[in-house]
């Protein structure tokens, strides 16, 4: 390691935990989706931070993490599109996006 990515990883971890808390505590499907996005983007921040501080390329870091960041962005977009489609389908059936109302499947 050239330099120390510690603070960035700390920030990423804090964002990740906030996102995870949002997923667990919220009931609106859209809010949960946003929390998941927050988690994915905190992971992106961590990826880019560590790739900047890794030894290599004369102290400029290795590009791996940044390239992966692109991939994660694109995949997250595809995931969110499918997720929103499912949420809209749910809304058309229920007139609500409250995940607590999704209770057909129990026991």
Partner 1 sequence: MPEFQHFAALPTLVPAAFGLVFLVFAPFIGSDKKWMWAFTTAAMGLTILIPAIILSKIGLYGDVLETAGVAGQYMVRTDRLALWLDILFGIAGLLALLVTPAYLERANSHRPEIYPLFLIAVSGMTAMVGSDHLVMIFVGLEVLSITLYVMCGLARERAVQVEAALKYFLLGAFSTSFLVFGLALILGATGRLDIPGIAGAVLGVGAGTLWNETLLLAGLALFLIAFAFKVGAVPFHFWVPDVYQGAPTPVTAFMAAGTKAAAFGVLLRVLYAGFSGAETIVDRWAPVIAGLAVATMVVGNVLALVQTRVKRLLAYSSVAHAGYLLLALVPATSGAHAGEIVGGPALLFYLFTYTFMTVGAFIVAALFQSDREDADHFAQFAGLWHRRPLLAAAMGVFLLSLTGIPPLGGFTGKYVIFLSVLDAGHPVLAAIMAIAAVIGAAYYLRVLMLMFIAQPEEDLAARLVTPGPARLALAVAVVATFVLGIAPFVLYDPLLTVMRAAAF
Partner 2 sequence: MSQNLLAFSVLAALAVITPIAILGLSYVAGPARSRRVTDLTPYECGVKPYHSARGRFSVKFYLVAMLFIIFDVEAVFIYPWARVLRERAGTPEGWFLFWVMMIFLGVLTVGFVYEWGRGALEWDR
Number of residues that bind partner 2 (CB under 8 A): 18
- Choose which of 23, 25, 30, 63 interacts with partner 1 (CB under 8 A): 23
Question: Should residue 73 be labelled a site residue for partner 2 when binding is judged by CB under 8 A?
Answer: yes
Question: Should residue 56 be labelled a site residue for partner 2 when binding is judged by CB under 8 A?
Answer: no
Q: For every residue of 25-86, which 3-state class applies, written as one string? A: HCCEHHHHHHHHHHHHHHHHHHHHHHHHHCCCCCCCCCCHHHHHHHHHHHHHHHHHHHHHHH
Q: Is 96 helix (H, G, I), strand (E, B) or coil?
A: coil
Token pair of 38 as six digits: 């927050």
Question: Should residue 72 be labelled a site residue for partner 1 when binding is judged by CB under 8 A?
Answer: yes
Which residues of this chain interact with partner 2, rule CB under 8 A?
4, 6-7, 10-11, 67, 70, 73-74, 77-78, 80-81, 84-85, 88, 91-92
């Amino acid at each position: 390691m050239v330099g120390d990515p510690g603070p960035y990883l700390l920030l990423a971890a804090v964002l990740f935990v906030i996102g995870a808390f949002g997923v667990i505590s919220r009931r609106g499907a859209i809010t949960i989706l946003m929390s998941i996005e927050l988690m994915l983007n905190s992971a992106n921040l961590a990826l880019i931070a560590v790739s900047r501080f890794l030894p290599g390329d004369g102290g400029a870091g290795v590009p791996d993490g940044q390239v992966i960041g692109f991939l994660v962005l694109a995949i997250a977009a595809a995931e969110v599109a499918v997720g929103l489609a499912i949420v809209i389908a749910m809304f058309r059936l229920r007139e609500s996006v409250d995940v607590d109302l999704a209770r057909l499947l129990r026991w």
